């Protein structure tokens, strides 16, 4: 519905876009969330973002107009959706650039408003212009049907001279003064999504990433909110930049308390120069508001990302993987492969992925990247016999590739040394003994497409594990008019184009984004792929933290989560199969171990866990995810509840020694208060008598075969008495609606 009357204040399930020219007031609403903008004086002032509110323009302007302090400008510049310096704004501007030292100051004013609704949400296009600097800005806003705000910014240069762009915010969002804290996500290899909480004080908190990929160290996401916000309480805004390259995230608080949030692609010097008549559009920012803690924002993000995914086969269950890396590394022996295929089929795997080492000359990590031809010495009859064995075990076949990279010791590099990103006259450090191919060159992407297209055409490959194992350093092209100039931004755009081209040619193929584990896990890469490899670390102790952080922005079915060996090679920690499986269950399950070498008993246990995953994956991958607040810092609790509230699965993990001798009861979340649920304890660690003289009553009843039923209200209010757990132990609790109970 679109009107030109007074703005509607009634809650509506259908998206609504209302623009009132007389009152200079714009309102977008969807799924109970409302964005209201006061556009008076040609400025983009945020009036409201949150639950639908009955606020009129007159009321808002009367009650929100602030005082002006002494010793300041006579009229303080407003904090808007596009802060620039023309009105005296002294903070970080949404636009930085110049024309040979001129037109560096802008005063963008609203010139046009367009709004509409469709099945995807409520949309607004806000055009701003500055005649003096001869620049135009277009803000594209969508409040999706899931209640998620998506924004991108386009800069146009209608002038007669080039404009050198240094910074263009994809999103510039005023924040409430009551927001006092910020949660950022960083880390390193095998310790991704490490969380850090920051207090917001006067000044600028900035995170920058210059590694060329979204990176382990600087995840392009922030959560800002009220003091002490948690999974289940507090008001928050979760913001994520859908971009797989360099980025800048900042939160700035001025002396008057006004606060802004900006996210955007970080540009290297000279990377973006707009010729006369040219334009550039930023990546998209995805934002979710919640007044029920981080969970509320995550759940909206999960829904909107699920709605945009382009699956090769809609509604196909996420198949159980077996990946050969930790079983074989580069040793592709036919007999060993056959053993692994047979063992994988025996435990119930559904997809077999042949990892690194299958192409010519690839006997270690120092050579052959770029030479994407099958090694005839390892596979004298091609991949056909191996794929036939995989199919005979009821599995589909997948293949590892790393198309963006090249080893200097390769036929490709010796033939085309100018095909890499490099700066003439400067020595470039290698990363994993490899360089980065320049995807901005059509001859490079044509070569890569030809090789991948040939493989996918010659063999029934249904899955590509697309890896990327080094940061960009000397990210300059060596050809064309831009020779020697930065190409990091264009490299990411070229990657997206190559992936789209491959998907169009082979729509039946599913693609995983892997970058030394979780160095490229963003909504941008997921426009072209269907899964991320969350981390190279399969140690469930570390994985609990990693998956928890990733789940703030990505739903579980997109997070590769594999059961590794008892002895984790990334941490040297030893853990039980039950703990490894309980952790991996809440993702897209796979196996990252040599199944053929497992003892019969352990193989049988693994088969049971895979059967459990298959029985529960409809719930796990289609339900609503909940992370629970715990009183014990060494404890993690989370779960998934079906959309109708009829079924749920919760996992409670102990990662360190318990805080108290008796754990505090754990309230659950997401259930229907008036519904009764039948509890089933799926997993309890062995030999509980070593830790407890007596089990909680409901656990003892379960072990004795007695039915345990409780109301949703009690489970969410009082919670469950927990057994005492040692570090690296977990329990799994399955709930189903008990309709036969009054």
Nearest to 623 by CA among 651, 587, 598, 648: 648
Same domain for 302 and 328?
no
| pLDDT of the residue at 127 | 98
Say if 567 falls within a structural domain: yes
Can you tell me the distance from the alpha carbon of 494 to that of 440, in angstroms, rounded to the nearest whole number? 6
Can you tell me the distance from the alpha carbon of 159 to that of 81, in angstroms, rounded to the nearest whole number? 24
| pLDDT of the residue at 640 | 98
Nearest to 464 by CA among 511, 502, 503, 499: 511
Same domain for 330 and 278?
no
Phi, psi of 323 (to 5 degrees): -110, 140
Write down which residue in 249, 273, 308 finishes a domain. 308
Say if 477 falls within a structural domain: yes
Can you tell me the distance from the alpha carbon of 463 to that of 351, in angstroms, rounded to the nearest whole number? 9
User: Burial level of 286, CB count in 10 A (0-12/13-18/19+)?
Assistant: buried
pTM of the model: 0.96
Q: From residue 356, how far is each of 61, 360, 403, 451, 503 by CA, in Å?
A: 62, 11, 12, 16, 22
Say if 304 falls within a structural domain: yes
Can you tell me the distance from the alpha carbon of 36 to that of 29, in angstroms, rounded to the nearest whole number? 9
Phi, psi of 448 (to 5 degrees): -65, -45
Same domain for 631 and 609?
no
Phi, psi of 702 (to 5 degrees): -60, -50
Write down which residue in 622, 657, 678 finishes a domain. 622
Residue 475 has pLDDT above 60, yes or no: yes
Same domain for 114 and 261?
yes
Nearest to 495 by CA among 529, 462, 469, 470: 529
Q: How confident is the model at residue 740 (pLDDT cuts 50, 70, 90)?
A: confident
Q: How confident is the model at residue 465 (pLDDT cuts 50, 70, 90)?
A: very high
Same domain for 615 and 655?
no
Say if 67 falls within a structural domain: no
Identify whether the C-beta of residue 176 lies closer than 8 Å to the C-beta of residue 291: no
Average pLDDT of the chain, as a whole number? 95
Residue 295 has pLDDT above 50, yes or no: yes
Q: How confident is the model at residue 3 (pLDDT cuts 50, 70, 90)?
A: very low
- Find the helix or strand (DSSP H, E) in which 346 lies: helix 334-347
Write down which residue in 308, 340, 361 finishes a domain. 308
Predicted confidence (pLDDT) per residue in 193-213, tens digit = 999 999 999 999 999 999 999
Residue 10 has pLDDT above 50, yes or no: no
| pLDDT of the residue at 6 | 36
Predicted confidence (pLDDT) per residue in 584-613, tens digit = 999 999 999 999 999 999 999 999 999 999
Same domain for 565 and 710?
no
Same domain for 617 and 656?
no
Same domain for 207 and 342?
no
Q: Residue 353 gets which letter from DSSP? A: E
Q: Residue 52 gets which letter from DSSP? A: -
Say if 69 falls within a structural domain: no
SS3 label, residue 290: strand
**Cα of 194 vs its chain's centroid, Å:** 14
Residue 26 has pLDDT above 50, yes or no: yes
Residue 553 has pLDDT above 50, yes or no: yes
Residue 113 maps to which CATH number? 2.70.98.60
SS3 label, residue 394: coil
Same domain for 209 and 146?
yes
Place of tokens 């036939």: 388
Residue 603 maps to which CATH number? 3.20.20.70
**How many angstroms separate the first and last alpha carbons of the chain?**
43
Can you tell me the distance from the alpha carbon of 658 to that of 344, in angstroms, rounded to the nearest whole number? 37
Say if 351 falls within a structural domain: yes
| pLDDT of the residue at 654 | 97
- Mean pLDDT, residues 409-428: 97
Radius of gyration of the chain (CA): 27
Calculate what percentage of the chain has a pLDDT beyond 70: 98
Can you tell me the distance from the alpha carbon of 544 to that of 357, in angstroms, rounded to the nearest whole number? 30
Count of CB atoms within 10 A of residue 118's CB? Answer: 11
Residue 11 has pLDDT above 50, yes or no: no
- Mean pLDDT, residues 101-113: 97
Number of domains present in the structure of the chain? 3
In SS3 terms, 170-200 reads as CEEEEECCCEEEEEEEEEECCEEEEEEEEEC
Least confident of 5-19, 60-74, 718-732: 5-19
Enclosing domain of residue 390 = 321-622
Same domain for 299 and 342?
no
Can you tell me the distance from the alpha carbon of 127 to that of 734, in angstroms, rounded to the nearest whole number? 52
Predicted confidence (pLDDT) per residue in 381-406, tens digit = 999 999 999 999 999 999 999 999 99
Can you tell me the distance from the alpha carbon of 452 to that of 73, in angstroms, rounded to the nearest whole number? 61
Identify whether the C-beta of residue 246 lies closer than 8 Å to the C-beta of residue 266: yes
Say if 122 falls within a structural domain: yes
Phi, psi of 531 (to 5 degrees): -165, 150
- Active site members: 467, 536
| pLDDT of the residue at 688 | 80
Residue 663 maps to which CATH number? 2.60.40.1180
Same domain for 227 and 343?
no
In SS3 terms, 232-273 reads as CCCCEEEEEEECCCCEEEEEEECCCCCEEEEEEECCCCCCEE
Same domain for 142 and 204?
yes
Say if 390 falls within a structural domain: yes
Count of CB atoms within 10 A of residue 65's CB? Answer: 8
């Amino acid at each position: 519905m679109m009107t030109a009357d007074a703005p509607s204040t009634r809650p509506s399930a259908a998206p609504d876009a209302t623009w009132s020219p007389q009152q200079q007031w714009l309102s977008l609403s969807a799924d109970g969330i409302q964005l209201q903008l006061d556009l008076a004086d040609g400025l983009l002032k945020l009036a409201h973002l949150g639950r639908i509110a009955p606020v009129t323009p007159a009321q808002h302007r009367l009650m929100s107009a602030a005082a002006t302090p002494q010793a300041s400008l006579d009229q303080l510049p407003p904090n808007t959706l596009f802060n620039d310096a023309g009105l005296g704004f002294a903070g970080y501007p949404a636009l930085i650039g110049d024309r040979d030292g001129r037109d560096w100051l802008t005063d963008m004013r609203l010139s046009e408003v367009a709004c509409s609704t469709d099945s995807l949400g409520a949309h607004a296009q806000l055009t701003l212009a500055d005649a003096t600097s001869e620049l135009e800005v277009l803000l594209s806003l969508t409040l999706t049907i899931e209640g998620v705000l998506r924004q991108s910014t386009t800069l146009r240069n209608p002038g007669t001279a080039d404009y050198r762009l240094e910074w263009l915010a994809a999103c510039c969002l005023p924040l409430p003064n009551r927001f006092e804290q910020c949660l950022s996500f960083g880390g390193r290899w095998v310790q991704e999504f490490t969380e850090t909480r920051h207090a917001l004080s006067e000044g600028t908190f900035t995170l920058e990433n210059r590694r060329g990929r979204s990176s382990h160290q600087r995840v392009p996401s922030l959560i800002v909110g009220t003091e002490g916000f948690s999974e289940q309480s507090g008001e928050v805004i979760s913001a994520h930049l859908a971009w797989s390259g360099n980025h800048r995230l900042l939160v700035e608080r001025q002396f008057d308390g006004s606060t802004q949030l900006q996210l955007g692609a970080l540009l290297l010097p000279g990377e973006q120069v707009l010729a006369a008549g040219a334009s550039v559009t930023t990546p998209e920012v995805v934002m979710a508001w919640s007044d029920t803690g981080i969970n509320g924002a995550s759940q909206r993000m999960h829904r909107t990302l699920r709605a945009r995914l382009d699956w090769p086969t809609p509604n196909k269950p996420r198949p159980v993987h077996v990946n050969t890396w930790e079983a074989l590394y580069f040793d592709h022996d036919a007999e060993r492969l056959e053993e692994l295929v047979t063992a994988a089929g025996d435990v119930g795997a559904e997809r077999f992925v042949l990892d690194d080492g299958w192409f010519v000359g690839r006997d270690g990590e120092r050579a052959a990247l770029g030479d994407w031809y099958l090694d005839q010495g390892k596979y004298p009859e091609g991949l056909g016999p191996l794929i036939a064995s995989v199919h005979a075990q009821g599995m589909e076949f997948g293949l590892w590739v790393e198309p963006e990279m090249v080893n200097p010791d390769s036929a490709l590099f010796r033939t085309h040394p100018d095909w890499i990103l490099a700066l003439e006259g400067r020595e470039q450090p290698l990363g994993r003994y490899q360089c980065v191919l320049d995807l901005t060159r059509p001859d490079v992407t044509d070569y890569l497409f030809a090789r991948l297209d040939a493989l996918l055409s010659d063999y029934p490959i249904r899955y590509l594990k697309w890896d990327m194992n080094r940061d960009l350093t000397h990210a300059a092209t060596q050809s064309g008019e831009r020779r020697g100039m930065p190409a990091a931004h264009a490299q990411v755009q070229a990657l997206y184009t190559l992936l789209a081209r491959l998907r169009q040619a082979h729509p039946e193929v599913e693609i995983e984004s892997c970058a030394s584990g979780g160095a490229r896990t963003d909504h941008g890469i997921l426009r072209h792929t269907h899964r991320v490899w969350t981390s190279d670390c399969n140690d469930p102790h570390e994985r609990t933290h990693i998956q928890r952080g990733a789940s703030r922005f990505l739903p579980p079915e997109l997070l590769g989560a594999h059961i590794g060996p008892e002895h984790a090679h990334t941490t040297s920690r030893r853990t039980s199969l039950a703990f490894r499986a309980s952790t991996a269950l809440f993702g897209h399950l796979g196996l990252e171990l040599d199944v053929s070498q497992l003892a019969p008993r352990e193989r049988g246990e693994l088969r049971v866990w895979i059967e459990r995953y298959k029985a529960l994956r409809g719930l796990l991958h289609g339900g609503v995810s909940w992370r629970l607040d715990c009183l014990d810092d060494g404890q993690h609790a989370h779960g998934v509840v079906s959309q109708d509230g009829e079924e749920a699965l919760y996992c409670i993990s102990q990662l360190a020694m318990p805080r108290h001798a008796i754990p505090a009861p754990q309230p659950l979340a997401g259930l229907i208060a008036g519904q009764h649920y039948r509890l089933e304890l799926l997993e309890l660690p062995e030999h509980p008598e070593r830790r407890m003289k007596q089990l909680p009553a409901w656990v003892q009843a379960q072990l004795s075969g007695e039915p345990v039923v409780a109301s949703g209200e009690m489970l969410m209010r009082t919670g469950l008495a927990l057994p005492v757990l040692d570090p690296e132990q977990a329990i799994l609790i399955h709930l189903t609606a008990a309709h036969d109970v009054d």
